[in-house]
Structure 1
Amino acid sequence: MSRTLDGEKANSQEPNCFRGAPCGSPVGNGASIVNVNRRERWERAAEWPLTAAALAFLVAYAVPIVRPSLPIGAVTACGWVLTGTWIAFGVDYAVRLGLAERRWQFVRSNVLDLVVIGLPVLRPLRLLRLVALLSVLNRAGARSLRGRVVTYVCGATVLLIGTAALAVTEAERGVPGATITSAGDGLWWAVTTITTVGYGDRYPVSATGRVIAVALMVGGIALLGVVTATIASWLVDRVQQENEQEQAATRAQVRALAEEVAALRELLIAQRETDEAPDRSVS
């Protein structure tokens, strides 16, 4: 009996070496590693379904706005699709939050995901992940950070213009005195606003439309800043490359000149020794 108790005591004092935990670590570390692995597996598995859900949301959101004369059945179906995407995004966020070891840190580092659940109009931003497929068409550019930035900025610009045009059209349609009454008007307004042109022929009059306009202006300025910084970075790199090439050529020329001077010195020394040889023989 005492031998059995001693054995159980010895086993209880052995380090935890299971479930991926390093030997000597407490059980909690092993559990946290398991949770992290499970969350990563979940995120990988849900990546493309959620991207498809974002695409379905964009289509279901756009169709009733572009075609306001749709039958009531089609409008109802689009509404169900919007509800389904909201549930999908909510379930994904809840699962990842439940698997997170530090939940407050997870919330702080995934603010956009939480905002996407609260503000449906931002849900198409999930489609930015599809922009990564463009790297197949531009592998050389995708290998560099600058190439990836340009790719994502182009994708974000298209999505921002499209979603803003749909949102402002939905907000302005039916408002007294509205100048944006169709999807074409909304698209024209979004393009002129994000490019900071602002012709003034189309403008929002409702409070919701003006909030959308402010968001689009801020987004346009941010994207313009990213584009400007990217172009400036490219120009600086080009100038630096040119300077390095010129410096390399200058160094090569200096090296060749030094070699010629050394060769001339050796030739002069040899000539002097040749001229002094007869004088020594005469003396």
Structure 2
Amino acid sequence: MSDRTAAPAPRRLREWEQRVEVPLLAASLLFLAGYAVRVLAPAGAGFWRDLAAALVGAVWLLFVLDYGVRVRLSGLGRRFVRSHGLDTLVVLLPLLRPLRVVHLYTAVQQRREHPRLSLYARVMAYAGVAAVLLGFAASLAVYQQERDAPGASIRTFGDAVWWACATLTTVGYGDATPVTPAGRVVAVGLMACGLGLLGAVTGSFSSWLIQVFSREDERRPPAGG
């Protein structure tokens, strides 16, 4: 009896994820907007900073609630934390939520049948948007840590954006580098995340090209026929 009740859990989990995907995306944008106001608002804007902090806290609690529901519907209990490491990391660090696009890429790659070409385009588009959001979030985080640090080369938000672009694309000019421990932790995370997102884009693009060429070969008449 217990096996019968536990079996539908993955289906319920998928249904839940489908229902909340768009609302949680909107909540993610609200979280990022609130964090941006918190970091970029001038010192005299105390009311707006407090309002942004309240918004960030409320959205984070929403993420925690969603995570708890996922754990319950999965039927895995504590094993969910180990088997869904990215979901756990996103709850601890909501600024990394754009990385959930990796799930989409993995789902496309694991399909038994060849996925439609439009799915590859969707993965590349999602990964591109995720890279922009992640770079913006990293710019805010490193700017918050570096702007008042002695000897820092990242003094303005523009410097932080330039650093994030160079780091995310693995160019690494070196003209702007974090000097604080927290800023360097953000840099390491952005390097790792940048490699993951670039891998998703290049992998999807390569698979798309292979599938396009395969379909063209199938349409060609046999040689000598």
Q: TM-score, normalised by structure 2?
A: 0.78
What is the distance in 1 between the residues matched to 2:72 and 2:214?
49
Instruction: Name the structure 1 match of 2:153.
Output: 179
State how 1:100-111 maps to structure 2 within 5 Å: 100-111=74-85
Name which of structure 1's ranges 167-176 and 41-50 shifts more when overlaid on structure 2: 41-50
Instruction: Name the structure 2 match of 1:250.
Output: 223
Q: Is the 8 A contact 1:180 1:203 kept in 2?
A: yes
SS in 1 for 2:42: coil
**Pairing partner for 1:164 from 99, 118, 138:** 138
Q: Is the 8 A contact 2:98 2:131 kept in 1?
A: no
Structure 1: segments with no counterpart, 5+ residues:
1-26, 132-140, 253-283
Structure 2: segments with no counterpart, 5+ residues:
105-114
Which structure would you say has the larger Rg? 1
Relative to structure 1, is the Cα distance of residues 78 and 34 closer, same or farther in structure 2, using a 3 angstrom cutoff? same
Q: CA deviation at 1:242?
A: 6.1
The amino acid of 1:53's aligned partner reads A
Q: CA deviation at 1:232?
A: 3.9
Instruction: Name the structure 2 match of 1:204.
Output: 178
**Pairing partner for 2:127 from 138, 143, 153:** 153
Q: Is the 8 A contact 1:55 1:124 kept in 2?
A: no
What is the distance in 2 between the residues matched to 1:250 and 1:101?
55
Q: CA deviation at 1:231?
A: 4.2
**Pairing partner for 2:5 from 25, 31, 40:** 31
Q: CA deviation at 1:145?
A: 3.9
| Matched positions, count | 214
Q: CA deviation at 1:180?
A: 1.1
Confirm whether residue 89 of structure 1 aligns to residue 70 of structure 2: no
**Pairing partner for 1:59 from 11, 33, 52:** 33
The structure whose RCO (Cα within 8 Å, separation 6+) is larger is: 2
The amino acid of 2:83's aligned partner reads S
Q: CA deviation at 1:42?
A: 4.1
What is the distance in 2 between the residues matched to 1:39 and 1:230?
26
What is the distance in 2 between the residues matched to 1:179 and 1:189?
10
State how 1:35-50 maps to structure 2 within 5 Å: 39-50=13-24
Q: Is the 8 A contact 1:173 1:182 kept in 2?
A: yes
Q: What is the percent sequence identity of the aligned residues?
A: 41
Relative to structure 1, is the Cα distance of residues 47 and 199 closer, same or farther in structure 2, using a 3 angstrom cutoff? closer
Q: CA deviation at 1:147?
A: 1.8
Relative to structure 1, is the Cα distance of residues 241 and 105 closer, same or farther in structure 2, using a 3 angstrom cutoff? same
What is the distance in 2 between the residues matched to 1:125 and 1:225?
12
Instruction: Name the structure 2 match of 1:272.
Output: none
Q: Is the 8 A contact 1:179 1:202 kept in 2?
A: yes
Q: TM-score, normalised by structure 1?
A: 0.64
The amino acid of 1:120's aligned partner reads P
Instruction: Name the structure 1 match of 2:107.
Output: none
What is the distance in 1 between the residues matched to 2:141 and 2:127?
21
Instruction: Name the structure 2 match of 1:9.
Output: none
Name which of structure 1's ranges 54-63 and 95-104 shifts more when overlaid on structure 2: 95-104
Relative to structure 1, is the Cα distance of residues 142 and 74 closer, same or farther in structure 2, using a 3 angstrom cutoff? farther
Q: CA deviation at 1:150?
A: 1.4
Q: Is the 8 A contact 1:38 1:99 kept in 2?
A: yes
Root-mean-square deviation (CA, aligned residues, Å) is 3.1
What is the distance in 1 between the residues matched to 2:146 and 2:20?
35
